[in-house]
Amino acid sequence: MVRETDLKPADFIYPLFVIEGEKKTEPINSMPGVSRFSLDLLVEEVKQAYDLGVPAVALFAAIDDSLKDEVATESH
């Protein structure tokens, strides 16, 4: 049996990476073509994705190394 997979934009979740500040983008060297966005620019990125039919995003915060600890205090 052979069955084709039919994926649409509505089937995807867009992973987005957030940094502090305003009007900032920062490339992620380990992921070519992917950047971190400040919140103001992130909103625009989400709007564009939604307009293209992507219904959901997954947000990942970039925490400064100086704020990290063993119990992820900054994440609470």
Q: Give pLDDT tens digits for 8-27.
A: 999 999 999 999 999 999 99
Mean pLDDT of 22-43: 96
What are the pLDDT digits (tens) for 42-75?
999 999 999 999 999 999 998 888 888 999 888 7
Token pair for residue 39?
């919140």
Please give the order of strands across the beta sheet that includes 25-27.
25-27, 35-38, 13-19, 56-61
